[in-house]
Structure 1
């Protein structure tokens, strides 16, 4: 007599990433609960079970099914994510959903349960389970937290997640490296053939039947430049490759990203030199562990992005389904065997047009990019930025140093230029003078007053902001090499400027040793910034006077 299938419910179920994996593992998902209607429609049509649109915080415990063996779910991670205000989300509000999840577990008393969230939640749960914590009343549930990397379990994505529950971690570890993990390049290549063979599930589909695989417009020259800068010379974060390497698993697929975000996955366009594109929805879904038969019933492109990025990878939840039933890797069927019967649900959703390249931007569009030759790691950098808060836009070179918790700056103005000139030896002044004269001539003759209009795509002009950034980068590199010949002077001049602006507090500022170790680069930046900023300010004042006369 066949063993009766385990019964499960899926809380905060999204599009049904948990539900699909558990279903493939032979578990009967009795019901799912999710607030977002389009996600519930997607879950229902793909998994054919009761998917209730409900606010779980207000769900009556009496309305839950009985005789449940397994509870799984993914409470919202927004308040816990470091992408939310740099990790400054409302943790107490986020814990409300975790409390609700555990309350339901405590009420149903399943044999086993598991909850998924962002890695940061692991430490939060551990702390709040202690006596006096917000979760202390659930300590009897046997909750243990683990941070796992999806790539170690056959998912073509380096996605670290917290998996909490009372399951056997060693059993989960037995599934490591059971399947070969496809690379980003292998997924992209697999989805370009006809017929298409799913690189994770082995399913086959005619190319014409594949939904959500429409490529976006190629990134424009400006978009490529911004993406490259965001990844390789970000003003705060450490560098990452550009484009994303095809010979390894992909970075985390996020729920939201724009054509010029640091989070976007950017790859080289096939057959075109120096051309780049973002991933299609289907490529994202495949990298997120969804089979090519799974359909997303979103009303637009952004909804589908959100569905995919917020989901639990079904290829991983299938393995968790085995673990929750006490099956080790040696006894479980492979994912490809379990998925043989998967078919596309009907009706298939409509194609949603992808994001298009931006033609116009707000007049106050922000520009803030590090000068590559004058940037050190850990956020120590010189950057070119605009200030749109006044009647006219002001451009300037800024300098930041310190730590992530104590960021300091030096105002680069004419007084700094005068101090540096007075403190430097005649030989050093003579050596740096040609470089400073070159950047001065460039800025003096540049069409700075119209640079913001060009940057906002709202008018013509004689110079683009990146042209100025490139010139600063070029002069910065040459000036650093020149100063290196007079390296003994550089630390003294850098320290003198810091003391001049920060007074008695200079000795206690964090990161000073790093500035001294890299004194030629820092001095080059101080010289350039204090030379060009007065000229940039003069352009802004001239523009203000012209505007004032025009308004009379």
Structure 2
């Protein structure tokens, strides 16, 4: 498998991982012009299309060995699931059917679809699997913590491997040593502020106090969510999301992670081209497939195929 296309390409996590695994990404698509702009900057030899893939003209897409896809996950994620007001069915969930359409037209050798683990609990997941199987593919979901693949971040995701094999293909994904958050944190960077300053939220001060009790004067902590204390910098960071989540405490100062640190936590290369806008970069990073995780999965697929 030497050529691929990338659906819902975003900032290019799949494409970057594929390139590292020796796979040429011929074509990439996303509905968001800003994402297409930066994917194009980092993958200039790839053909790019900005469109809603429900309306894709698959006959205009080059033939390929491998289809990579990361359909919208927000409708499935616990963070924004039904309990948070998401409907049981919405347009974001229906993006997964574009994968079926592309497979039906091109019939590549294989495909890997990445999403949150809740994707396989989707009410229409059995129907989606049935459609994929009707096209001659075996379906093999792999639920993986990306930290076990060498990404410096605990990020549980499902990689659904679709192959034209006689039986579902189970990849050999050996657990690798965890890479600590300290590997990408730069204590000399960013905009620091004093912890003890007027207006600091009580919940933030409570989290910092709990973190200090457990880790001393240097640690990271979640600015929101269920985490009530800190995290040791010697561990991988927790999941990077689409908005600022993680903060660093260093003595009597604190700051949020920089955009560059968010990207490094996702395992993007340090020289990636990205927006100057912090919020936009963090959003793109949190939406991405960690490139190193994608690379490891594709290397295992090539070995097994």
Interval of TM-score (by shorter of Structure 1 and Structure 2): 0.7 to 0.9
Report how many residues are paired. 281
More helix by share: 1
Which of 140, 144, 149 is the equivalent residue of 2:145? 149
For 2:260 and 2:195, the matched residues in 1 are separated by 19
For structure 1, which runs of at least 5 residues remain unmatched after alignment? 194-212, 258-263, 329-552
For structure 2, which runs of at least 5 residues remain unmatched after alignment? 211-223
Q: Any conservation in 2 of the 1:128–1:136 contact (CA below 8 Å)?
A: no
Local SS of the residue matching 1:116: strand
Which of 296, 299, 305 is the equivalent residue of 2:282? 305
Change (3 A) 1:220 1:284: farther
Match of 1:83 in 2: 79
Once the two structures are TM-superposed, the CA of residue 318 in structure 1 deviates from its matched residue by 1.2
Do residues 136 (structure 1) and 112 (structure 2) align?
Answer: no
Local SS of the residue matching 1:295: coil
Match of 1:96 in 2: 94
Which of 166, 191, 197 is the equivalent residue of 1:215? 191
Match of 1:6 in 2: 2
Match of 1:112 in 2: 110
Matches within 5 A, 1:35-434: 35-48=31-44, 49-66=46-63, 68-84=64-80, 86-93=83-90, 94-124=92-122, 128-130=124-126, 133=127, 136-140=130-134, 141-166=137-162, 170-174=170-174, 176-177=175-176, 180-188=177-185, 191=186, 214-215=190-191, 217=193, 221=197, 222-223=199-200, 225-229=202-206, 240-257=227-244, 264-269=245-250, 273-297=251-275, 300-326=277-303
Once the two structures are TM-superposed, the CA of residue 129 in structure 1 deviates from its matched residue by 4.8
Cα deviation digits, residues 115-136 of structure 1 (max 9, x gap): 1111111222xx5354xx3653
For 1:91 and 1:69, the matched residues in 2 are separated by 34
Q: Any conservation in 2 of the 1:156–1:182 contact (CA below 8 Å)?
A: yes
Once the two structures are TM-superposed, the CA of residue 192 in structure 1 deviates from its matched residue by 5.3
**TM-score between both structures, scaled by the size of structure 1:** 0.47
Matches within 5 A, 1:474-493: none
More strand by share: 2
Q: Any conservation in 1 of the 2:171–2:301 contact (CA below 8 Å)?
A: no
**TM-score between both structures, scaled by the size of structure 2:** 0.82
Q: Which has the higher contact order (CA 8 A, sep 6+)?
A: 2
Cα deviation digits, residues 292-319 of structure 1 (max 9, x gap): 1112135x22111111111111111111
For 1:186 and 1:65, the matched residues in 2 are separated by 39
Of structures 1 and 2, the larger Rg is shown by: 1
Q: Any conservation in 2 of the 1:41–1:297 contact (CA below 8 Å)?
A: no
Once the two structures are TM-superposed, the CA of residue 169 in structure 1 deviates from its matched residue by 5.9
Change (3 A) 1:120 1:219: farther
For 1:219 and 1:274, the matched residues in 2 are separated by 6
Local SS of the residue matching 2:79: coil
Change (3 A) 1:149 1:163: same
Q: Any conservation in 2 of the 1:70–1:324 contact (CA below 8 Å)?
A: no
Q: Any conservation in 2 of the 1:183–1:247 contact (CA below 8 Å)?
A: yes
Once the two structures are TM-superposed, the CA of residue 238 in structure 1 deviates from its matched residue by 9.1
Q: Any conservation in 1 of the 2:67–2:108 contact (CA below 8 Å)?
A: yes
Local SS of the residue matching 1:29: strand
For 1:39 and 1:74, the matched residues in 2 are separated by 14
Cα deviation digits, residues 158-178 of structure 1 (max 9, x gap): 10011112267643423x21x
Once the two structures are TM-superposed, the CA of residue 230 in structure 1 deviates from its matched residue by 6.8
